[in-house]
Chains A and B, each alone.
Chain A
């Protein structure tokens, strides 16, 4: 595989260069990589390890420590249910439960056909609109249980 040929690796390289190839650029590089590739594949992790002259185990260890990083691609669509306290008090756990039942997957998983991932977040910081679900990254708040599932149906249509 010719990594250099992929322009997306150049984005990652740019971030690393901006921080002078310093080892502390690791997390920033992972962020850029996830943004451009959608997730962190093994190849991506290896690329970063090489450029920063870090052991692969270190890069892998950091990537798995932080909840924000994904080692697997998301589905075509995503429904991220906020599970922060404000949303929880207003019934976010029931929204998750319903979505899990509807798609037969657990929160954090993607349906087999790759159509949708049901995920949960730790508070997206718009607690006044609780409960909130991010449908394909667009936050929709003040949801009733019916609306929350209806929106997903609209999304995957």
Chain B
């Protein structure tokens, strides 16, 4: 049991002490991409070899969460603790084990697999949410604590009042990372002010956007960071119970979170009288069922209660009537992951990064026709060009870029001409797209924008919960219309109908799913109208 900040720091020291003799670490990425290429076996093989060579005192082998550069999976990094020097190797295979072990003995260098740490991919990133990803062992709470974990929570419980926390979050300017970009501090303040004996904190780990895997990576790489963020939120708002809603398609994330919760309980970090402070908080994981609409706040809450995940009209907002009718705060995984760093370093520190209205950093999943696919965390306000060409290394095979899809099914496609816009909530909105949760899909000249628009509309159609007519019927009709365009069988009047129907669905749907469903169509009409016109058959 850790009962005070002092004990926490002692705990961290003890962990470091126990590793005193080990001067090096071999960190094998066991994130989803690396794992699917056999990272687990590689780690086991490496462990055995290191032991066989009697090097296990000097060098520990550990599994870590996503390193970021997934296109270079499997990634292994070698960390020299004295020199604080990390060398990352990409494209590592089973038969590189001898060479990897050779590195410890200064006998080999594995030069051809070394990543150039001076590449913009590494230098242009700024890691806050992902600071521990690829560094700590997500299965080991002590490792998190040794890297400064839970200091924010214990400091807050000993030295801060709930309103001080809310104030720091407000000063930080943090906006929700789940898509809408609502100011987090304001949301918390609203719930903190509500009088109620029971309040809930919910973490949205549904990550329904196809093409996005930021939340998955955070849950798998650094689960304690989410727990710490949620506990801080609970303390600030007067809640004692929380839920993390995770999609069932992410079994590894579920495992990691459950393990982390257990460890936190065993150490007295979750449960009653945390840090002897009179603050109680406990957490549970709840599984989603593969319905996109359940990412929507009111639907999610209904789903946790064990029902079909259908959204409902707001107000009442969750802040007044959420889970089981009680005041509830719902935030995204990445939002919660930002909290501990903000409390530790102060709101001012956070707001000094990014732009005036979009502070801090954002994690993006770079995929599609791009050289460096993977996860990157960058300061808000970076240009799309820097993101795609410097960090992402440009389009695969150096083909011309056609469009970048941001914001998933609720977002839009940005054409090549707009590459110099800044990546922040407002700039993306101005050009007809949105930040969304942070999926960035790069498309080269071979992509057909009509097909892309139809793909998303079909998605929304399948995922519509069916409760409201504009969304249920509208998305079906829009899909059929788009089909006509793809087959080049549309008439001139179909084009007007398409545009009109987009407006109707957008204006009259009950929830965000229907309201946003036409966005990919509207943005492709705006920037790639030609392709629609080509889809109209000559009479």
Contact = CB atoms under 8 A, between A and B. Distances in A.
B306 A65 contact: no
B537 interface: no
A26 B408 CA distance: 30
Contact of B367 (A27, A31, A127): A127
B73 A129 contact: yes
Interface string B50-67: 000000000000000000
The residue in B292, B306, B443, B459 that gathers the most chain A C-beta atoms within 10 A of its C-beta is B306
Nearest to A141: B36
B373 A127 contact: yes
B471 to A, nearest CB: 15
Contact of A129 (B36, B209, B250, B443): B36
Given A62-B306, A85-B210, A128 B290 contact: no
Contacts of A127: 211-213, 365, 367, 373, 439
A123 B292 CA distance: 11
Contacts of B190: none
A128 B73 contact: yes
Contact of B291 (A66, A129, A141): A66
A84 B70 CA distance: 17
Interface string B317-344: 0000000000000000000000000000
B316 interface: no
Contacts of B365: 127
Interface string B415-446: 00000000000000000000000010101000
Contacts of A65: 289, 291, 308-309, 465
A27 B286 contact: yes
Given A125-B250, A126-B32, A140-B36, A86 B290 contact: no
A83 B289 CA distance: 17
Interface string A75-109: 00000000111101110000000000000000000
A122 interface: yes
Contact of B210 (A23, A86, A129): A86
Nearest to A89: B368
A82 B365 CA distance: 17
B83 to A, nearest CB: 30
- Counting chain B residues whose Cβ lies within 8 A of the other chain, the interface size class is 35 or more
The residue in A30, A123, A126, A127 that gathers the most chain B C-beta atoms within 10 A of its C-beta is A127
Contact of A123 (B211, B289, B366): B211
A128 B455 contact: no
The residue in B71, B212, B465 that gathers the most chain A C-beta atoms within 10 A of its C-beta is B212
Given A26-B306, A84-B211, A125-B32, A130 B291 contact: no
A126 B36 contact: yes
Contacts of B447: 89
B369 A89 contact: yes
Contacts of A141: 33, 36-37
Contact of B248 (A31, A62, A89): A31
A139 to B, nearest CB: 4
B324 to A, nearest CB: 8
Contacts of B7: none
Contacts of B443: 89
A62 B287 CA distance: 13
A126 B459 CA distance: 19
B305 interface: yes
Contacts of B71: 128
Nearest to B36: A139
B13 to A, nearest CB: 37
B289 A27 contact: yes
Given A28-B286, A122-B210, A123-B211, A68 B306 contact: no
B305 A24 contact: yes
Interface in A103-157: 121-130, 132, 138-141
Given A23-B306, A85-B455, A89-B443, A126 B289 contact: no
Contacts of A27: 286-287, 289, 303, 306
Nearest to B305: A24
A61 B304 CA distance: 15
A126 B443 CA distance: 18
A128 B292 contact: no
Interface in B327-386: 365-369, 373-374
A81 to B, nearest CB: 13
A5 B236 CA distance: 49
A111 B535 CA distance: 37
Which 7 pairs of residues, A with B, have the shortest CB-CB distance?
Answer: A66-B289, A128-B70, A84-B210, A68-B290, A123-B210, A85-B211, A128-B373
Interface of A: 22-28, 30-31, 61-62, 65-69, 83-86, 88-90, 121-130, 132, 138-141
Given A85-B408, A90-B369, A130-B367, 13 more contacts: A24-B304, A62-B308, A66-B290, A84-B210, A85-B439, A85-B441, A89-B367, A89-B447, A122-B290, A124-B249, A125-B250, A127-B212, A128-B367
22 contacts: A26-B306, A27-B286, A31-B287, A31-B289, A62-B306, A68-B288, A68-B290, A69-B289, A85-B455, A85-B456, A88-B210, A122-B249, A122-B459, A124-B32, A126-B70, A127-B439, A128-B71, A128-B73, A128-B374, A129-B70, A138-B36, A140-B36
